[in-house]
């Protein structure tokens, strides 16, 4: 049977603490379901590397990574020494762009055992996906400053939406919606205010929607959409959004479902010609780093999404994914849990418990 | 004593239904505190006008309005007949820009009697201001399409941040924070991803903050900031944000405090050389228009902010504002209330009850 080659990059801060638990869980599931994985560790794409080399990654990073099927990623960013935009654009955002990981898929689910900040919501009430465009839109590197340092200083940045970039993320989202029982797609827009790019987004949603007559679709401006995440999270099934709006919704959604600490994500290149990347939604969290109290669930869940991806959602791969999710649920309900969920256990204890439950 | 000249524009949809109640309440408070107001009604800046004239407003709108001290505004937008970006950029957003209403001030408060969607939050726990830049930033009209209608179609829009535009909104926000007991300012950023304009925003916050050593300041990226609105709304005092981020936060905040239906706003030109504009945060709500069930509280509260503004927050003007707020609270607690708050009363009944309580 095939050996899956996975690159592992723990990165900065709590990325270092949660990654060993992600690996422990993936290894347990792989062993149990007879999936053959080979991990290769890379000690760059973190701010310590930057301090030594003046860059986040070696020049041949692309060649070093391109042959892998997937990258299992922790977190990056250490603003005390490297500005975030330097560390992120020098690593994670480069991966997303250069490996053309145009889908950022982020499940939002209220899990059993997780206290919900919303009144009267129970597991099952919140269960949807944010499908985020991941390569273009508001995250551009085009623009600059004029009249620098003077009263007339002006800073301009361009958002770029291409038909190719817009249509392919919409297609992914409509396909996903069509595969789910509710067949419901919500588009995040802001065409009333962001009056050039967002009306275009709306047009492409209409055009793509016409090909999916069985998918019910609606759209909300991003401002009121964030309100509905709080007031009516049960209204959503698949939410498709631009790069920036998807970024916002995929932190807000998990917060409504209790915590960012368990939210996973998959950065996917559906062609599979280049590695896809799996990472927790949370960042490197310098404030809690070093205490070994970070919640490893987001990384473990991301690992489950990675296994599912490796097998195209089929057979033993899907079983491995489901077993990992079941183990996560079991441990969330019965403990041990980390302090962010009110528990007293550390990262390693929770990771071991989940691996054991698998 | 001075007569204050106010322009009234009810606009579209429920703007038509809530404005009479806004006026009723403002008149009651003005009468009680001996404030002299003269209202002039304008029947344009709505989509019905567009249908007849092919534009939202007459060509001399600026001259017609520029002599007023304030504009009391309902809502605009009727997407079934006029695309939102056309109606909004042809009216409300024109006012904001051409009258240089660079401050959009939006209180977020959990009011007694309002059911809160967040678990275990009571009145007093949520009480902050969103200070939104209101004239530039992501809301630009610069950009366009290339290769239209082809596979290569590309759409570009520019965000524009000027030193003048950034510094003046920051100054307003720091002044406001300094005047409040907690003296705490939170800046909304996204400098890790939006890597040209947002690092600039951060720089200007630093620079302005240096002049306010007694104001404690922090910053969050917009994604995690929306999460904190849900998880830790008690953490905020004054939140300053760019045009788009402020738009999002000022819908999300009120949702966390129960409902958009009561959230007011002031669009202020602090020089007072041109009229400031007061409007509910909610829009024209085509879905409920015609039933007379819209909640008039947001408009009444906006009217209270207008009275406060007319008197610079002093004397009988502040008293009138406070009396209106007290009346709103009384009616929120004892009823009558509109269906969005679980009540059975209509817009007029609620408006009359608040006016009577004043
Ligand atoms: C209607 C729309 C253009 C407007 C905005 O985005 O500013 C509204 O959402 C607001 O918050 O006042
Ligand atoms: C770290 C940051 C650049 C990144 C993003 O904005 O995409 C993160 O917030 C995410 O959601 O993956």
Q: How far apart are CA B70 and CA B278, in angstroms?
A: 8
**Average of per-residue pLDDT values in chain A:** 97
Chain B CB contacts of A227 below 8 Å: 251-252, 254-255, 260
B192's tokens: 């890790």
B272-301 residue pLDDT tens: 999 999 999 999 999 999 999 999 999 999
Tell if the CB–CB gap between A197 and B155 is shorter than 8 Å.
Answer: yes
Residues A267-280 have a mean pLDDT of 98
Task: Please indicate if any CB of chain B lies within 8 Å of the CB of A51.
Answer: no
Give residues 177 to 196 of A whose Cβ lies within 8 Å of B: 190-196
Ligand 2 centroid to residue A72 C-alpha, Å = 16
pTM of the model: 0.97
Phi, psi of A83 (to 5 degrees): -55, 140
8 Å CB contact of B156 and A77: no
Q: What is the pLDDT of residues B158-190, one digit of tens each?
A: 999 999 999 999 999 999 999 999 999 999 999
Q: What share of chain B is helix, strand, coil (3-state, %, to 5)?
A: 40, 20, 35
User: What's the rounded mean pLDDT across residues A202-215?
Assistant: 98
Q: Which of residues 128-147 of A touch B (CB under 8 A)?
A: 138-139, 141-145
Write down the pLDDT at residue A247: 98
- Rounded to the nearest 10 degrees, what angle do helices B297-310 and B15-33 cross at? 40
* Residue B248 alpha carbon to ligand 1 centre in Å: 9
Q: What is the pLDDT of residue B216?
A: 98
Residue A125 tokens, joined: 């009430």
Choose the closest CB to B195 out of A85, A243, A256.
A85
pLDDT at B141: 85
Given a cut of 90, is residue A246 above it in pLDDT?
yes
Segment A265-283 mean pLDDT: 97
- Closest protein CA for atom 9 of ligand 1: B247
CA distances, A285 to each of A22, A47, A249, B150, B224 (Å) = 17, 13, 19, 44, 12
> Any alpha helices (H) in chain B, and if so which ranges?
15-33, 47-53, 61-65, 84-89, 92-98, 163-179, 197-209, 222-231, 243-256, 297-310, 315-334, 347-357
- Mean pLDDT computed over A278-286: 96
- pLDDT more than 70, % of chain A: 100
Averaged pLDDT, A214-241: 97
Residue A241 has pLDDT above 80, yes or no: yes
Q: Is A226 on the interface with B (CB under 8 A)?
A: yes
Q: A247 contacts in B (CB within 8 Å)? A: 190, 193, 222-223
Contact (CB, 8 A) for B222 and B198: no
The minimum CA-CA distance between B35 and chain A, rounded to whole Å, is 36
Q: What is residue B130's three-state secondary structure?
A: strand
Residue B101 burial by Cβ neighbours in a 10 Å radius (0-12, 13-18, 19+): buried
CA of A91 to the centre of ligand 1 (A): 35
B195 lines ligand 2 (CB under 6 A): no
Q: What is the pLDDT of residue A183?
A: 98
Using a 6 Å cutoff on CB, does residue A247 contact ligand 2?
yes
User: Which positions of chain B have pLDDT values less than 70?
Assistant: none
* Region A64-75 average pLDDT: 98
Contact B196 A155 (CB under 8 A): yes
DSSP tag of A340? G
Residue A40 pLDDT greater than 80, yes or no? yes
Q: Where do we find the tokens 């660079």?
A: B102
pLDDT of residue A141: 85
CA of A159 to the centre of ligand 2 (A): 16
Q: Give the three-state DSSP class for B279.
A: strand
């Amino acid at each position: 049977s095939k050996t899956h080659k996975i690159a592992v990059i723990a990165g900065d801060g709590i990325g270092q603490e949660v990654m060993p638990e992600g690996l422990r869980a993936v290894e347990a599931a792989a062993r149990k379901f007879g999936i053959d994985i080979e991990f290769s560790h890379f000690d760059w794409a973190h701010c310590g590397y930057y301090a030594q080399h003046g860059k986040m990654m070696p020049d041949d990073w692309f060649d070093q990574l391109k042959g892998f099927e997937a990258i299992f990623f922790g977190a990056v960013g250490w603003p005390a020494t490297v500005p975030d935009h330097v560390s992120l654009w020098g690593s994670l955002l480069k991966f997303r762009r250069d490996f053309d990981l145009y889908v950022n898929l982020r499940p939002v689910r209220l899990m059993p055992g997780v206290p919900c900040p919303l009144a009267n919501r129970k597991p099952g009430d919140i269960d949807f996906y944010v499908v985020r465009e991941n390569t273009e839109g508001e995250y551009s590197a085009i623009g600059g400053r004029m009249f620098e340092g003077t009263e007339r200083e002006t800073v301009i940045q361009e958002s770029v939406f291409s038909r190719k970039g817009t249509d392919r993320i919409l297609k992914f989202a409509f396909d996903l919606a069509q595969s789910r029982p509710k067949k419901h797609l919500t588009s995040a827009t802001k065409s009333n205010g962001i009056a050039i790019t967002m009306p275009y987004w709306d047009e492409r949603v209409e055009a793509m929607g016409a090909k999916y007559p069985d998918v019910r679709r609606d759209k909300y401006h991003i401002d009121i959409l964030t309100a509905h995440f709080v007031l009516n999270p049960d209204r959503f099934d698949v939410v498709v959004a631009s790069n920036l709006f998807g970024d916002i919704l995929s932190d807000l959604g998990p917060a409504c479902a209790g915590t960012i600490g368990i939210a996973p994500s998959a950065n996917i290149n559906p062609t599979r010609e280049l590695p896809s990347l799996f990472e927790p939604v949370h960042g490197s969290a310098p404030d809690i780093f070093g205490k070994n109290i970070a919640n490893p669930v987001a990384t473990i869940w991301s690992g489950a999404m990675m296994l599912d991806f490796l097998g195209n959602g089929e057979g033993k791969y899907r079983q491995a994914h489901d077993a990992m999710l079941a183990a996560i649920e079991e441990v969330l309900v019965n403990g041990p849990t980390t302090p962010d969920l009110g528990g007293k256990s550390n990262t390693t204890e929770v990771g071991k418990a989940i691996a054991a439950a698998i």
